[in-house]
Structure 1
């Protein structure tokens, strides 16, 4: 009978095996894109060095976990637990950085779009295109209804779900026309940039990065908890064996 519970050991080895295969897959991808890395670095793109560090680290730590569980080695288990604790902290910090960066990028995007919007709204051709877009996509203004200042066009008219009118594409969320402005009583709440999904792709990338960071943090937490349980089982087995041997000598 081993020092560690058999089911716990098998589960631990299984998930570390999956992590090792994922790390090998990352290394394979890095090898495949290695030819483009020099071009990206020359153009000012990000270096692939951190990718190599991450991929090799995943493989190395996973192999360490497999060895520690199979050999039931207390020192190796403690080293693995230390790596899991460090990984948990790093991934939590990365997740928080991504959340902050997402908010900053959105703010910069909106500010830049607002500056461009002032120039475009002075163009009659652009205003006509925007009105056609508002009719088809059920939106008001490129960034918000405030783009139209005090005169909101009829293309922004919105019919509430409970009202008498019906929008061709179904009911849309409506808001009341701001006080001091002229135009329809009810207008579309969403902007045309939302309808077109201008920020959608940027938001999707940040969502994936957040999910990746916090997902790895949860994985590291589980690995830390399981390794602590295994350390406790090994220490309990060794202490019990030592006590039994002492009584036997006596």
Structure 2
């Protein structure tokens, strides 16, 4: 015999279906971010952020399945585990989201200071030079803040082809090679604004996911608490979706005046 209000069970099931869809969307966003920010080099915090997104998406789907099963079977243990997960999840999301929002405006300044420590690029470590070289080749940019970041050793990854020169994406710069002056056609765009754009986009995705999950966790706490309460008190009259007695209609007037046979 069903112990939980049918309407409440339906709402909770729909919530868990939506919760599972959100988990799938988070995994899809992680895949999209991985493709968009792929530069054959390690961007700041990229791998850690992707791991967090994949983990959160998978855990969200598992918890949603647990909640849907508990609602369908009216299993109190599953619902209690779901409630505990919602409480922990909401606290974790708020703990991660609030500092992330406060730190976002400082991201550009921190990243700029860190990149400026790598200059000039021609005297940086081989790993930094290789990563900068790959970034320039894939993002079609030259230098972090200017082509002068390479001083007189501008690499081939900064050079444009004829098609890009015709499209106005290049500039001619002069540099010293051995004992003579020479010119190169290099990209006008620098790499720092492009890297910053991708990192801000990734940060916005993370913040949106965190606060969306926090709101859903609070809603899940309320619904699962209501179901657990009804399972603990199965004999209590259900108030939802019932018609008050004062609005019930009595028998028709003609039945009250009708006399049975024999009178």
Q: TM-score, normalised by structure 2?
A: 0.48
Q: Which has the higher helix share?
A: 1
Which structure ranks higher in relative contact order (CA pairs < 8 Å, sequence separation ≥ 6)?
2
TM-score by length of 1: 0.50
